Amino acid sequence: MLTLTHYLILSAILFSIGILGVIRRKNLLMLFFSTEILLNAVNIGFVAVSKFYGDLSGQIFSFFIIAVAASEVAVGLGLLVLWYKRSGSIDLDSIMMMKG
- Residues 62-81 touching another protein, rule: CB under 8 A, are 62-64, 66-75, 77-81
DSSP 64-91: HHHHHHHHHHHHHHHHHHHHHHHHS--B
Site size toward another protein (CB under 8 A) is 71
Q: Is 98 an interacting residue with respect to another protein (CB under 8 A)? A: no
Task: Please give the torsion angle defined by the CA atoms of residues 40, 45, 47 and 50, in that order, rounded to the nearest 10 degrees.
Answer: -160
Give whichever of 43 and 99 is closer to another protein, judged by the CB atom: 43
Query: For the purposes of burial, counting CB atoms within 10 Å of the CB of 45, is it exposed (0-12), middle (13-18) or buried (19 or more)?
Result: buried
If the CB atoms of residues 77 and 99 are measured against another protein, the closer one turns out to be 77
* Binding to another protein, residues 1-60 (CB under 8 A): 1-2, 4, 6-8, 10, 12-21, 23-27, 29-30, 32-34, 36-37, 40, 43-45, 47-51, 53-57, 59-60
C-alpha span between 41 and 13 (Å, rounded): 8
Residue 13 beta carbon to another protein: minimum distance, rounded to whole angstroms? 6
